Amino acid sequence: MAATVSLSESNGAGETITASITNTNMGSTDAVNLVSASYPITANTRSYAKYQRLYCSNLNGSTSIANLKVWRTGSLGGSDTHVTNARTSAYAGAKAYATPVNTSIATVDQTMPTSSPAGANLGIGGSLTGALTGVGYSDYLVHQLVVDSASTTGTTTTLSISYDEIG
Amino acid sequence: MEYKFEGNTIPKEEWYWIAQYQDGSTLKQFDDNGFYHQFMEIDQSQLKVFKMVSDNHSNIFTLIFTEEMKLIHFYKRFMLDIGTEQYREISCYCFGYEIKGQKMMVMITPSNEIIITNNTNLIQIE
């Protein structure tokens, strides 16, 4: 049986963790499951960063989870960019949680891939070759939209994740 | 039939393995006595044949094992389009072997397409 895995998000000072989030919408506030239309991102600013982790609550007989990959599909408005700490090389280790901000964040500067990368780009225990062998979290996926002056409304991009599970 | 592992009920996978040993005995991932077995329980030193079978599909994938092989088996799980109406969870079943650092892998996709590769990381599922 598949391990029970979901995406969690952390928000606020001191980190309020929400398990099994229902969306990963980004906007001009630090809130989980937000409605983007209610929190539009002004041109030449950034969204508030998302701090999200894969959470394994039960391996259900499997022995480990590894090889985490994160990517986006769809389009961004204008020449907006989507930046992240996820990367397949020169991974900077587990990013520590910090109160989400709408300004640039050190090491959150890699362009989010637009297809499944050729190797893990999000670590476990600070390493791209790390594994979850019980209940636990991945490293934080920190990501942020950078909205430029030529941005257009109405575009949608979605997040996808894959991992290997050893039965 | 229910299958148990450490007291928990484990639902059957779409595709599951059967290990056949040189002495004719077998180890089934979901055995006839209602127990679930982990891949690490397979005694590769005595393995003769590794099969992937399904209750819903008639085809069987058979790997004839030799002693220089290192058996590989895992699931590739996908969480696609998270937070949208198109959200879906997909499992692909990967098995194969490694000899002297060279891998030969088979992936069974949800549509039962068979992909053969030496690197399952190259496979894109949409």
Return the closest-CA partner of residue A108 out of A76, A145, A75: A145
Q: Are the beta carbons of A162 and B122 separated by less than 8 Å?
A: no
In the block, which residue shows the tokens 């198109």?
B86
Which of A88-97, B5-14, B58-67 is predicted least confidently? Answer: B5-14
Residue A155: which pLDDT band, with cuts at 50, 70 and 90?
Answer: confident
Q: Which residues of chain B make contact with A134, given a CB cutoff of 8 A?
A: none
Q: Which residue of B has its CA nearest to A21?
A: B83
Mean of the per-residue pLDDT values of chain A: 95
Q: CA A83 to CA A86: how far, in whole Å?
A: 9
Residue A51 carries which side chain, given as an amino acid letter?
Y
Q: What is the mean pLDDT of residues B103-122?
A: 94
Q: Which residues of chain A make contact with B123, given a CB cutoff of 8 A?
A: 116
A88 close to B (CB below 8 A) = no
Tokens linked to B54: 């399904």
In the block, which residue shows the tokens 């398990």?
A19
In the block, which residue shows the tokens 């499951």?
A33
Q: What is the mean pLDDT of residues A12-40?
A: 95
Q: Which residues of chain B make contact with A119, given a CB cutoff of 8 A?
A: 121
Q: Are the beta carbons of B40 and A158 separated by less than 8 Å?
A: no
Q: Which residues of chain B make contact with A73, given a CB cutoff of 8 A?
A: 81, 126
Where is pLDDT greater, at B126 or B113?
A: B113
Q: Are the beta carbons of A158 and B82 separated by less than 8 Å?
A: yes
Q: How far is CA A83 from CA A106, A110, A116, in A?
A: 11, 5, 16
Q: Kindly report, residue by residue over A28-75, the tens digit of the pLDDT.
A: 999 999 998 999 999 999 999 999 999 999 999 999 999 999 999 998
Strands (DSSP E) found in chain B = 4-5, 8-9, 16-21, 26-28, 47-53, 61-64, 70-82, 88-99, 102-108, 114-117
Return the closest-CA partner of residue A130 out of A93, A167, A77, A87: A93
Residue A140, helix vs strand vs coil? coil
Return the closest-CA partner of residue B77 out of A111, A88, A135, A56: A56
In sequence order, which residues have a C-beta less than 8 Å from that of residue B2 and are 6 or more positions away? B9, B34
Q: CA B57 to CA A44: how far, in whole Å?
A: 54
In the prediction, which pLDDT does B105 show?
97
Q: How far is CA A28 from CA A19, A48, A103, A166, B2, in A?
A: 21, 6, 11, 39, 48
**Would you say residue A153 has pLDDT above 90?**
no
Task: For residue B39, give the DSSP letter.
Answer: G
Say what the ipTM of the complex is: 0.94
In the prediction, which pLDDT does A51 show?
98
Q: Kindly report, residue by residue over B72-83, the tens digit of the pLDDT.
A: 999 999 999 999
pTM for the predicted model, two decimal places: 0.94
Buried residues in A32-52 as b, exposed as e (16+ CB within 10 A): bebeeeebebeeeebbbbbbb
Determine the residue among A26, A52, A129, A160 to mutate to test chain B binding: the one whose Cβ has the most chain B Cβ atoms within 10 Å: A160
In sequence order, which residues have a C-beta less than 8 Å from that of residue A43 and are 6 or more positions away? A147, A148, A149, A151
Q: Are the beta carbons of A158 and B91 separated by less than 8 Å?
A: no
Q: CA A62 to CA A158: how far, in whole Å?
A: 28
In the block, which residue shows the tokens 């894109």?
B124
Residue A167: which pLDDT band, with cuts at 50, 70 and 90?
Answer: confident
Q: Which residue of A has its CA nearest to B74?
A: A166
Residue A1: which pLDDT band, with cuts at 50, 70 and 90?
Answer: low
